[in-house]
Amino acid sequence: MPEKCIYCGKETDLSESDIIPDALTNARIINRCVCRIEHNNKFSDKFESKVIESLAFITNELDIKSSKGKNYAPYEAYITIEGVEYKLALHGDNNIFDGRVLKSVDNTHMISTYEKMVKIAKDEQKVTPLDVNSIEIEKRVRVNNVIFFDDALYRMVAKIAFEWYCAKNRIADHLPEFDNIVRYIVDGEGENPVSIIQEKQVYDMLNFSTNLGSHVLIGYENKSGQVEVVVWLLGLLAYRVVLAHKKPNVCSDNFLFTELRTDSSRRELTHKNREDANNTFWNALNSSDLYQIYEDAELKMMVPRGMIAPLKYMDLYPTVMNLVQYLENANDDTKEPNEVVNDIFLSQLKNITQASSLHKKSVKRFMNDIFSDGHEPIILNTKTSNKKSTMLFYCVFLVGKMKEELTDYSFHKLVKNEFALSENIIVTD
């Protein structure tokens, strides 16, 4: 059977759709059964670009960058230096002093390189040198939380859930069971199938079992036969999407889990249903493969295989099975902001802005920003409150001593050995 668009059923001019927009993830997932123009390119103008622009500060904090551009997405910030406030567009904390001219909000001060300032002032007496290594800088950013309740984001989340579920089930044509969600994604019409989960226990389970800033997608068939996908966007709010009120017969896999991490890695589970996943887990748990024979000249014994599990991502199964069971019974979703959702959002946002995952991409970004060609000598400020920057400087020092190729595995091993850290490497400000 020829592949057709999952939105309209046409089989001409199909393309690869980034299920999650490229600018919002470092781990690409695609659906190949989407029209190039009507149901791929046009979605950017209809809703994706608005969301991407609004989330620029968040993606910067998580070291997420579009593979199609050189720079991280810019965001608006207010910087206070020596008591004077400046408004500027930032690509990250390390490009404040990048040679451009910064004008204060009240138009009374300017900051740039000394040579440039002397040229502009035409009088060296009017120029005061600043030691950027010792001055105190205060940064304020306004996070647009309104976008998380905006129709543009709801449509994007619906698109992510629909294209992901279809890709996981190898759907290569339009199915009538998906008429409502297709209409909502394409035209913003019909019943809104997206709601916000406001049970704190769901967020606690997700925080415990996944990495900082991950995208998480969970697909399942609920007790009434309804197909639902939960999309946890950047580790902030979790959205429930009703794909179909009745599961299409051709969709056989309905216990699905994907975690897309900021270091580009991913973890996935795919099973027919929760019972299938449960059986797979217990069969592996009872397997003799959990043990191996250890033998030397004097001793022969059965020992645990340690880190070598007989089932990939074995540790995920209990958590995801509990999550799906909990989600099936949770019925207190909302579509509007309220005190409960706002508290959850602020708590999750605090996790992202006050902590950072360390991985190869974040170190490479830091090195490119700080150690540009012809950079001046860098003197660390011993009184700095920027723990992330200090940690990254030390990581660069450690990487410089490495004798092996820098990979995420070698970097994690290096840092964990140096600081005796656990599996997830997090720096908290």
Domains of the chain: total: 3
In terms of residue numbers, what domain contains 300?
A: 14-53+146-350
Q: Is residue 290 one of the residues assigned to a domain?
A: yes
- pLDDT score of 352: 85
Residue 64 domain flag = no
Q: Per residue in 314-352, pLDDT tens?
A: 889 999 999 999 999 888 999 999 999 999 999 999 888
| Cα gap 243→228, rounded to integer Å | 6
For residues 115 and 214, membership in a common domain is answered with no
282 CB burial (10 A radius; 0-12, 13-18, 19+): exposed
Q: Which amino acid is at 284?
A: A
Establish if 68 belongs to a structural domain. Answer: no
Asked which of 111, 140, 169 is the last residue of a domain, the reply is 140
pLDDT of amino acid 218: 98
Does residue 177 sit in the same domain as residue 48?
yes
Task: Say what the pLDDT of residue 353 is.
Answer: 81
Over residues 212-217, the mean pLDDT reads 95
In a domain, residue 36? The reply is: yes
176 and 87 share one domain: no
pLDDT, tens only, 84-138: 999 999 887 777 887 889 999 999 999 988 889 988 888 888 888 888 777 888 8
pLDDT tens column, 12-39? 999 999 999 999 999 999 999 999 999 9
Contact of 255 with 247, CB cutoff 8 Å: no
Residue 69, in any domain of the structure = no
Structure confidence at residue 428 (pLDDT): 44
- When pLDDT is averaged across residues 137-141 and rounded to a whole number, the result is 88
Task: Answer yes or no: do 288 and 391 share one domain.
Answer: no
Q: Are 167 and 258 in contact (CB under 8 A)?
A: no
Identify whether residues 414 and 269 lie together within a single domain.
no
In a domain, 4, yes or no: no
Last residue within a domain, chosen from 113, 140, 167: 140
Does 30 map to a domain? Answer: yes
Same domain, 119 and 151: no
Q: Which two tokens stand for residue 385?
A: 């409150």
328 plus 266 within the same structural domain: yes
Q: Provide the pLDDT for residue 196.
A: 98
Give the residue-averaged pLDDT of 372-396: 69
Does residue 320 sit in the same domain as residue 424? no
Average pLDDT of the chain? 86
Residue 9 lies inside a defined structural domain of this protein: no
Between these two residues, 405 and 179, which has the higher pLDDT value?
179
Q: Spell out the SS3 assignment of 165-193.
A: HHHHCCCCCCCHHHHHHHHHHHHCCCCCC
Q: Both tokens of residue 397?
A: 């020092």
Mean pLDDT of 357-368: 72
Domain boundary among 294, 317, 350: 350
Domain identity same for 217 and 136:
no
Q: What is the pLDDT of residues 216-267, one digit of tens each?
A: 999 999 999 999 999 999 999 999 999 999 999 999 999 999 999 998 899 9
The one-letter amino acid code at 378 reads: I
Does 205 share its domain with 242? yes
The DSSP code for 298 is: S
Judged by average pLDDT, the poorest of 45-49, 159-163, 271-275, 308-312 is 308-312
| Domain identity same for 281 and 213 | yes
Q: What SS3 state is found at 251?
A: coil
Q: Are residues 226 and 321 in the same domain?
A: yes
416 or 12, which is more confident: 12
